[in-house]
Structure 1
Amino acid sequence: MWKIIRADLHRYGTLTNLLKGLKEPGYRFLFFHRNVSKHKPYSLLGLMYRRRRRRRRMLIHKYGSKIPINTEIGEGFFIGHFGTIVRNDDVKIGKNRNIAHTTTIGQANKAKLQISPAIRDNVWIESGTKLAEKIRILSNILKTPKTFLNIDVPNNSLVLNYHVKIIEKENPTQGYINNIYKT
């Protein structure tokens, strides 16, 4: 778990000091999120779990982000700006992801099926992006602001506008996803 926390911390300007990282709102929220999702309420660390869960709940209200505890998030997650970031429980998120404010990653409620997106590694999601249905977003993807996406996106692609124009590009996230933690 500390490897993942260190990778997240590194994404915030190559920080190495945990206390300095906790001054960053995005990292603070992510730190408490990871701690709460790691420890169960009735374990030996149950008291710490309850305190951290309460702190996480306060941060949800303070920053306006709702990322459920059981959401799978890979290492190196970076929240650029806070404000109305909403996720579904079943979303799977890969490594080295950047996400901005007013982003929704939801599910499609079709009859008995409730299906959610899966997002792989090195994906940059700009502000105002909405993702729905069972879509796969593969590696090295850059999505421009205010994009509504409900189709699969191949590797090495640039997604433009709300009309969803996909342009294949060699390395679209170069210069956008920085400070990747090397293990």
Structure 2
Amino acid sequence: MSDYSIIQKDLYRESGKWLSTIEVWMKCLNPNLHFVYILRKAQKHNKKNMVGLFWKLVLRKYQIKYGFQIYPETTIGEGLYLGHWGCLVINPKAKIGKNCNIAQGVTIGQQNRGKKMGSPIINDDVWIGANAVIVGGVTIGRNVLIAPNSYVNFDVPENSIVTGNPAIVYPNLKATEGYINNKV
């Protein structure tokens, strides 16, 4: 799959339509979409050559400018949507599935000790609210809504809503209905 189709799928999540080259550039005026575009280019060229170095430097500049700490090594499925820009930290070893929404202030981090040592695996169709924290070697199932300000350090089954600190899981078959639009 080409990087352009991944970028198109990411931008489709915001607009709900496939974009021409000019429209892609116009969408890049939005800081969230601009960062996703650069992230995908850095992921495509994540090799030890001049092109890879160039995209890593460009990505680093925009990590600082927009406040997103997402690295090209992070595995992220198509249809990524960053709701708002600023203060977003995702561990490079984390794995994120397709059609995920991530709001501002979210931390998806590694735990360095204990039985949940490692980084999170987040499956498809997950909505993560503002200032939520997901840490450790946990798995978040499909169709999960993690409410704002929730702290998750345990596995979450699919079709669930997670809320609070300490977090409580509520089963719900329509957990992300109306929250994740324009799925690819």
TM-score (norm 2): 0.90
Percentage of identical aligned residues = 35
User: Which residue of the partner structure matches residue 97 of structure 1?
Assistant: 100
Tell me which residue corresponds to 1:21: 27
- Aligned: 1:166 with 2:172: no
Q: Is the 8 A contact 1:140 1:172 kept in 2?
A: yes
The one of 14, 31, 34 equivalent to 1:12 is 14
Which SS does the other structure have where 1:50 is aligned? helix
2-structure distance, mates of 1:173, 1:41: 36
1:123 is the counterpart of 2:126: yes
Deviations 1:103-142 (A, max 9, x none): 101111117x951010000000000101111100010000
How far 1:20 sits from its partner (Å)?
1.9
SS at match of 1:54: helix
User: Contact conserved, 2:13 with 2:80, CA < 8 A, in 1?
Assistant: yes
CA drift at 1:42 = 4.3
Distance 2:57 2:34 in 1: 14
Of residues 86, 106, 111 in structure 2, which corresponds to 1:108? 111
TM-score (norm 1): 0.90
CA contact 2:75–2:95 (8 Å) conserved in 1: yes
Contact 1:32/1:53 (<8 A) preserved: no
Distance in 2 (CA, whole Å) between partners of 1:52 and 1:115 is 27
> Is the partner of 1:51 in helix, strand or coil?
helix
Could you say which residue in structure 2 is the equivalent of 1:2? 4
Structure 1's unaligned 5+ residue stretches are none
**Residue 180 of structure 1 pairs with residue 183 of structure 2:** yes
The answer for unaligned runs of 5 or more in structure 2 is: none
State the match for 2:141 in structure 1.
138
RMSD after superposition: 1.6
CA deviation digits over 1:52-110, x for unaligned, max 9? 33221111111111011200000000001111100111100000000011110111111
1:88 aligned onto 2:91: yes
Give the length in aligned residue pairs.
Answer: 177
Is 1:34 the equivalent of 2:37? Answer: no
